[in-house]
Amino acid sequence: MAEKVLMKGNEAIAEAALMAGCRHYFGYPITPQTELTAYMAKRLPKMDGVFLQAESELAAINMVIGVSAAGKRVMTSSSSPGISLKGEGLSYLAGCDLPAFVVNVQRGGPGLGGIQPSQSDYFQATRGTHGDYRTIVLAPDSVQEMVSLTIKGFELADKYRMTAMLLADGTLGQMMEPVSLDADKIVTFEKPWAACGTGMKRPNNIINSLSLIPEELEQWNLTRFKRYDIVEENEVMYEEYMMEDAEICLVSFGITARVSKNAIAEARKMGIKAGMIRPITLWPFPKKPLLAATEKVKAFITVEMNMGQMVEDVELATRCRRPVLSCTRCGGVIPSPDDVMGAIRKACELGGDAK
Amino acid sequence: MASSQILFAGFGGQGILFSGKFLAYNGLIAGKHLSWLPSYGPEMRGGTANCSVILSDTPVGSPIITYPDMLVVMNNPSLDKYEDAVVPGGKIFVDSSLIERKVNRTDVEVFYVPATAMASENGLDTLANMILVGKLIRESGVVDFSHVDAVLDKIVSARRQELKAFNKQALELGYNYVG
Amino acid sequence: MTTVFDRPHALKDVSLHYCPGCTHGIIHRLVAEAIDELGIEGRSVGIASVGCSVLTYNYFNVDMIQAAHGRAPAVATGVKRAYPENIVFTYQGDGDLAAIGTAETVHSAARGENITVIFVNNAIYGMTGGQMAPTSLPGQVTQTSPYGRDVKTVGYPVRVCELLREVDGAAYLERVAVNDVKNVKNAGRAIKKAFRYQMEGKGFSLIEILSTCPTNWGLTPDKALEWLEGNMIPYYPLGVYKDKYAEKEAE
């Protein structure tokens, strides 16, 4: 195993992208993800790559579309308001069946919001912008996982010809942890569909999301959703933490899952059997383990840095068989283990009889 | 479970983040689990800054410190803000050149070090932070002083190698200070 | 028997969807001829925009990418940066290039992005049914300026070549028209030169082509050509607005 190094989350994502073979980055500065952009600005020119600071997020995501359409690995990164601007491009990427890797290091919102960490783009990431489409959403909870999920994200994007989004937050982006930069096996894919010149050797390739024939457009969507079904079947990732005997199940992703682990340790000291299911993919959502957990736990608590955006996904996954509470802070405030303990106590009082 | 939660707080420009980085790299060399979490944003440009470092023998849960075992403070607002959060039996390191008041808590160990004045007297302006870190190492044993050279090799940029000796001098001043 | 006139190879053998009398067809042919003559079909990538010309991806015999409204130069930037040896062009209308995509236009020019922009200016939004464009003339009646474009409330038309002339990164800017044979031939020359500049790595070039929209102008094709000559050319004078490498080439 390679020697561990200390890296900020933002820099670790950038380094992992380079490990994954990404040589094209387009971005625009925004706190709290700017270290990623700066890292790429420093590294890419020295490895014959392309770093370009675009005139806007709109331009950046469309440059991503260009490189992706030409068949090469490419990424962009931003923070919440910037991701809104990229929203148009995300829909086009989906409509054109193009792979892309997009990073959102979230900050508080809505509007210009703040610059402190947040998870308030959960809806945006898992639901997206206009049209029927899906985005693979990866939610790391450590700097090490930012590396592994970045490499995985490029692979999934190419494999399914869709966007993989790494959904982090200001805390994960800014914090340093020891990280091992062992390259997992880098999986790549042939791209015979790419628009990079016919070479007069094949019919021309057309990358396009437009159809003026409703039945045709419907068929494109149906085909795409068949692919999404395979993603849902094969690519769900989650962590079960102390769930063997758990009666209270926390559901949390990213940095709040780390806070939740502290709270679980506290709860267990007090004799409360708490555990956690941590979705690592927010889409596809870990529905099966959550449904299975309804057989043994009394209540679920989502722990999030937003107004409880994941609650309804948990309610749907568990088919409301058990109460779903939420422990949330927002606007850039991080819930403390005490906040989470308060929610755990409240869940215990419910007694878990609600059926 | 051996775990230390150390919070550095002061003004931007006092080397708060660097102090934390120094401890974090010590942890890395010692093979510990650790996290380093800075405050970020406008406070970096002259406002208050803080930095949380957790060193542990087991994986670190939340990198956010609610109740520090050790608090290093370099300005009044930081002492006011964090004094009550320190765990009973914890340690507070105060730059007494910059903070005139005493710590109110009686259930913690307090170390007053006139770090800024000492730095100034020894031609080490801007290294008061490292004097406090030296004292913290002496009183907490959280890191092995023998790793200091290796850590400085990692975190002092190659272009500024002359700073290594100054940093080490500051650490030693703090380490040997008896208040 | 000698063939003296044929469809360019870079243009597919399909019927175009454009309205009768629309000059997009001529411009398509000029682009395809340039690609043929320069022998770059196999390494060309075209970027279709949004507007009447959105379906260009069905007409050119080269790899094509359909871009979001206004974003074609950004997409072209991506393709060109990924494969610098490719010849990358955008085909954009006036709404796409000079309204919603102004930032992409100006900044791709400012970067000196080594791409070729084919800018079709017909002073109206055709695809959506005849609304006011950034290039609609003062007083021009459209669906969204039913009393005529009132410059006091909606401002003045954007003259793209004049605007970009001051941008250092732009290498070659020329305004042409396709209202008569002489102008069509001249437009073909300009388009070919713009592609050649890209092949020579000279940077950003844009050919603005004054074009007609008989349907939405409410004119017959021949009257539309007259309207172009009598109204558009005076407001949008033809000529070379910038040529960084001003050549004394025998043309």
Q: B36–A258: do the CB atoms touch at under 8 Å?
A: no
- The CATH number of A239-350, from 3.40.50.2300, 3.30.70.270, 1.10.287.130, 3.40.50.920, is 3.40.50.920
Cβ-Cβ contacts under 8 Å between A and C: the total is 139
Q: Which residues of chain C does A28 touch, with a Cβ-Cβ cutoff of 8 Å?
A: none
Residues of B with CB under 8 A from a CB of A: 21, 24-25, 27-28, 33-38, 40-41, 60-64, 66
**Fold topology of B3-98+106-176:** Pyruvate-ferredoxin Oxidoreductase; domain 3 (3.40.920)
Q: Which residues of chain C does A206 touch, with a Cβ-Cβ cutoff of 8 Å?
A: 57-58, 63-66
Domain ranges of chain A: 5-234, 239-350
Q: A177–B35: do the CB atoms touch at under 8 Å?
A: yes
> A5-234 with A239-350: one CATH topology?
yes
Ordered structural domains, chain C, with CATH: 24-243 (3.40.50.970)
Q: Which residues of chain A does B64 touch, with a Cβ-Cβ cutoff of 8 Å?
A: 171, 255, 259, 334, 336
Q: B64–A32: do the CB atoms touch at under 8 Å?
A: no
* Bridge partner residues of B6 (DSSP): B53, B70
The predicted model scores a pTM of 0.95
Q: Would you state the structure tokens that stand for residue C167, as one six-digit string?
A: 């941008």
Nearest CA to A73 among A7, A136, A16?
A16
pLDDT at A175: 97
Query: CA-to-CA distance for B19 and B95, rounded, in angstroms?
Result: 14
Query: CA-to-CA distance for B167 and A351, rounded, in angstroms?
Result: 57
Q: A175 and chain C: CB distance < 8 Å anywhere?
A: no
pLDDT tens digits, residue range A39-52? 999 999 999 999 99
Q: A221 and chain C: CB distance < 8 Å anywhere?
A: no
pLDDT in tens, chain B (179 residues): 489 999 999 998 899 999 999 999 999 999 999 999 998 865 455 578 999 999 999 999 999 999 999 999 999 999 999 999 999 999 999 999 999 999 999 999 999 999 999 999 999 999 999 999 999 999 998 888 888 899 999 888 878 888 999 999 999 999 999 97
Judged on CB neighbours under 10 Å (0-12, 13-18, 19+), B68 is: buried
Q: Give the CATH H-level superfamily of domain A5-234.
A: Thiamin diphosphate (ThDP)-binding fold, Pyr/PP domains (3.40.50.970)
Query: CA-to-CA distance for C228 and A250, rounded, in angstroms?
Result: 69
Q: Do chains B and A touch (3 or more CB pairs under 8 A)?
A: yes
Best residue of A24, A28, A63, A193 to probe chain C, by most C CBs closer than 10 Å: A63
Which of C41, C55, C78 is the closest to A66 by Cβ?
A: C78
Cβ-Cβ contacts under 8 Å between A and B: the total is 61
Residue A252, SS3 per DSSP: strand
pLDDT tens digits, residue range A204-246? 999 999 999 999 999 999 999 999 999 999 999 999 999 999 9
Q: Would you state the structure tokens that stand for residue C152, as one six-digit string?
A: 């006091």
Best residue of A53, A68, A97, A207 to probe chain C, by most C CBs closer than 10 Å: A207
Q: What 3 state SS string does B80-107 have?
A: HHHHHHCCCCCEEEEECCCCCCCCCCCC
Best residue of A130, A208, A220 to probe chain C, by most C CBs closer than 10 Å: A208
Domain ranges of chain B: 3-98+106-176
Chains contacting C (3+ CB pairs below 8 angstroms): A
At residue C251, does pLDDT exceed 70?
no
Q: Would you state the structure tokens that stand for residue B94, as one six-digit string?
A: 């105060």
